[in-house]
């Protein structure tokens, strides 16, 4: 594991404060790297879209110390629907409600 002091003089700029940008910024900051995150949106707000985090993504967020916070807002999936891009035809690929 790298020493935080070794990283203290390193500076990183991240463009975009989405999940990837913020997770990267948090990971680097915890390693002692100076991080600046730039986002074009004037404020973070709910966009109305759902978010599905894969098990690998959840492991990364858990390793960053966000596991307890994720559990507070977790909604276990009941169904997952796949749609064709050109016709919007849909079918269930994961249905726990039946």
pLDDT surpasses 60 at 98: no
Q: What is the pLDDT of residue 2?
A: 54
In DSSP terms, 36 is beta-bridged to 13
Q: Tell me which residue range forms the domain holding 17.
A: 8-42+50-95
Residue 65 lies in a domain: yes
Residue 81 lies in a domain: yes
Residues 61 and 67: their CA atoms lie apart, in Å, by: 6
Q: What is the pLDDT of residue 64?
A: 93
Q: What is the DSSP string of 16-85?
A: --SHHHHHHHHHHHHTT-EEEEE-SSSS----S------HHHHHHHHHTT-HHHHHHH----SEEEEE-T
Q: Check: pTM over 0.75? Answer yes or no.
A: no
Q: What is the pLDDT of residue 76?
A: 78
Residues 94 and 73: their CA atoms lie apart, in Å, by: 21
**Distance set, CA 85 to CA 49, 53, 66, 89 (Å):** 18, 21, 34, 8
Residue 1 lies in a domain: no
Residue 84 lies in a domain: yes
Residue 3 lies in a domain: no
Number of domains in the chain: 1
């Amino acid at each position: 594991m790298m020493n935080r002091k070794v990283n203290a003089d390193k500076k990183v700029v991240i463009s975009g404060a989405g999940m990837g940008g913020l997770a990267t910024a948090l990971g680097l900051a915890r390693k002692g790297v100076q991080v600046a995150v730039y986002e074009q949106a004037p404020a973070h707000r709910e966009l109305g879209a759902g978010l599905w985090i894969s098990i690998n993504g959840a492991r990364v967020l858990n390793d960053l110390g966000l596991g307890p916070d994720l559990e507070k807002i977790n909604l276990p999936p009941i169904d997952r629907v796949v749609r064709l891009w050109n016709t919007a035809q849909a079918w269930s690929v994961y249905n726990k409600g039946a």
